[in-house]
Structure 1
Amino acid sequence: MPAITADTLTLPRIAAAGPSDTERPVRSITTGPRGHEGEGFPVVRAFAGVSSADLDPFVHMDQMGEVEYEPGEPRGTDWHPHRGFETVTYMLDGRFAHQDSHGGGGLITDGATQWMTAGSGILHIETPPAELVESGGVFHGIQLWVNLPRKDKFATPRYQAIEGDEAKLLSSEDGGALVRLIAGDIAQHRGPGATHTPITMAHSTIEPGARLNLPWNRDFNALVYVLSGRGTVGPVGHPIHQGQLAVLGPGDRISVSADAGQDAHRSALEVLILGGKPIREPVFQYGPFVMNTKMEVIQALEDYNGGKFGAIPPDALMPHRV
């Protein structure tokens, strides 16, 4: 898992809990079912079975892969529309190419993040580059959908390319865990992602037997998703493993520990930690549109069919076939 790494002994340390801090308890742990997305790439539906109230302001998340493709097998998505939310694509391993109808685009690879605000409407494509399709290789990433409040549903579309080395790197108190802060604030440190909806997003590698204890905004919800490995979460140590999501209750801190024994091919516990300020507005989702009402989704469909989301560029990136 070659997402950006560093020597934790040289990084800013996250301070220990204060005497009045409370640990966030575990409210639920769910296991994401497996499925396929786009043109057939495998995913884990990380939020399946979790109430929208517990997820708010997040709408949807897929763990893409982890898969070792043979030559000719890599798949992505073709051109498709979005309106009313932000898509966040974080690549842990492998490469994904992006292009959109508002001029955004680039290659997302090994620890990089693409942050796309669909807002009023956008067309885009995410697909493995031709050389990866030809050669095959490892593909592993996350796609997260972050809702936009009613006032920002029609924001001007925006694209942010956040390279892996731009993430803010932090260390746990004892140096046993590396935290890559992609967006939001942790312990008075800020990640590079610019968001309409206040959220925090971090990826942590926790070494076997180590414990991560993070301060967390009391106004945010808190989610811990296991990308790889085994460990425990919460103040009483609920077991959790790859493909599972923990929803945490209120409090000041999030604690996650890695089991002392990990599988030989998974040397550490890898977790994605998410939280945001709930929007608490009605959500009506239909496919790639996340709006407040059914009528707004119908309007989105009409606008898309009427060409109001922009045009596919003449030099458009297209899925590669062998």
Structure 2
Amino acid sequence: MTDRTIKAVHAAYRDDIADLITRRPVPGPAVDQVDPFLFLNHHGPQTYRPGNSGLPFGPHPHRGFETVTFILEGSLAHMDTGGHESIIHAGGVQWMTAGSGLIHAELSPPEFKRDGGDMEILQLWVNLPSTLKMTTPRYTGVQADGIPSIPAGEGAILHLVSGEYEGKTGPVDSLTGVFMSMVSLPAGADATLPAPKDRSVFFYVVRGHVSMGEASAKSFDLVEFAHDGETITVSSSDGAFLLFGHADPIGEPVVAHGPFVMNTEQEIRDAIADYQAGKFNRAPENV
């Protein structure tokens, strides 16, 4: 197997939400999407004081795609109009298929607002093909101990969220066969990661510094790969943590308007009308 070549390294840009430190590598000035990966917000890392207001993501709608939320530090409370409710702690993941339409809230639980603490969260948006955009919404919340940790090289560990790796299966059954993981690289470690040819690779350096042959990337960098090899070999002299996944590109028109991602302007108008008409069910209560 041969390693993929690197097309570009894209630095995330700051786009804070009130007092919430936020960086966004995609979409960015030079990369609109990594089809089907549409959007990534990196919130934190930061420390909240006791008596804080917590995260600002109260009830809001989505249609046409999936949100995958990685809780790296702190805790996150989820509630949606599909009847799903959970509190996921550090190391866990929330995977929500908005599909035909959901209203959800992602907020800090009462204990975090009372006591404060460290917070760092990633939220990735994954597009759905036209045939699945109106699929029935669903949700999976997984704590850290439900995510398999698998050796991925000399000292490296791959935390498997969805897909298969080394005979293990991730806890999330992706509708579109997305492989998604987090990769821990202690100082001096290296990993050989699967990148099947013709699949789009999502590779984001959450923290640390990594090398891939003669190329390198640092914290808050998105690495864009060509569709030419079948593996990615990565190492870190001082330690690093990555968000790594791959998926089949969809290759369809993307029309996005706020929390809705569809294929046409008319479908966006329909989504707004359905939301305003209450067809996304009721808003979550007691948040």
The interval holding the TM-score normalised by the smaller chain is: over 0.9
- Alpha-carbon offset, residue 231 of structure 1: 1.9
2:47 match: 68
Query: Where in structure 2 are there 5+ consecutive unaligned residues?
Result: none
Per-residue CA deviation, residues 28-81 of structure 1 (Å, 9 max, x unaligned), is 1011011124x65221102123434x6001111111111111123332311100
- Aligned equivalents of 1:114 and 1:209: distance in 2? 31
Which structure: greater strand fraction?
Answer: 2
Tell me if structure 2 keeps the 8 A contact 1:184–1:201.
yes
Asked if 1:151 is matched to 2:131, the reply is yes
Aligned partner of 2:183 in structure 1 is 204
Alignment CA distance shift 1:50-1:105 (3 Å): farther
Q: Distance in 2 between matches of 1:87 and 1:257?
A: 29
TM-aligned CA deviation for residue 222 of structure 1? 1.3
Residue 252 of structure 1: aligned partner: 230
Q: 1:295 aligns with which of 257, 266, 278?
A: 266
Q: Who is 2:249 aligned against?
A: 278
Q: Is the Cα–Cα contact under 8 Å of residues 119 and 157 in structure 1 kept in the other structure?
A: yes
CA–CA distance in structure 2, aligned partners of residues 277 and 193 of structure 1 = 17
1:304 to 265, 271, 275: 275
Of residues 71, 92, 100, the one that matches 1:112 is 92
Aligned AA (1:258)? S
Residue identity matched to 1:302: A
Q: Which amino acid aligns with 2:65?
A: F
Paired with 2:159 and 2:30, the residues of 1 have a C-alpha distance of: 25
The TM-score normalised by the length of structure 2 is: 0.94
Q: Give the TM-score normalised by the residue count of structure 1.
A: 0.84
Partner of 2:145: 165
Listed one character per residue, the Cα deviations across residues 274-310 of structure 1 (whole Å, up to 9, x for unaligned) are 2110000100000000000111001100100000001
Over the aligned positions, Cα root-mean-square deviation in angstroms equals 1.5
Paired residue type of 1:186: Y
Matched, 1:22 2:2: yes
The amino acid of 1:155's aligned partner reads T
The C-alpha deviation readout for 1:203-256, integer Å capped at 9, x for no partner, is: 1111112211122222311121111111213xx231211100101122111111
Q: Give 4+ residue runs of structure 1 displaced > 4 Å after superposition.
A: none
- 1:222 is aligned, of 201, 204, 211, to 201
How far apart are the structure 2 equivalents of 1:165 and 1:186? 17
